[in-house]
Amino acid sequence: MPSDSQVPGSPPRGEADWDHIARSPLYRQMVAEKMRFVVAATLIFVVYYFALLVLVGYWPELMATQVIGVVNIAYLFALSQFFMAWFLAYLYMRIASRFDQMTQQILRETPGLEGRR
């Protein structure tokens, strides 16, 4: 039985109204921005990753060029993939703080979650 302060048909106090959240323009904007970043970052990394394989396969003489002692371009390119992954993780951490702020705003605007973070 709902309490006097609860609107009939609404979720119990303290529980999220997921339909309300899904209809929220801010939620839709956040999901779209997140999807854009994740798809773009994934495509960039996949292209970068396969570039090594393509370059080694089609231009082995270029990739075998020694840069420092016995270290060649192929080794440096392979090592750079770790830095690329770390860089993309850093970018995601920066953009995720904006997603966190948007999430907090969505929760503040969601009925039934008053006083919750």
Of residues 104, 114, 105, 101, the one with CA closest to residue 15 = 114
Residue 1, pLDDT above cutoff 50: no
Residues 41-65: what's their mean pLDDT? 97
Any residues with CB less than 8 A from the CB of 63 and at least 6 apart, and which?
Answer: 55, 56, 72, 73, 74, 77
* Mean pLDDT score across all residues of the chain: 87
Q: What is the pTM of this model?
A: 0.71
Percent of the chain with pLDDT over 90: 69
Query: How high is the pLDDT of residue 84?
Result: 96
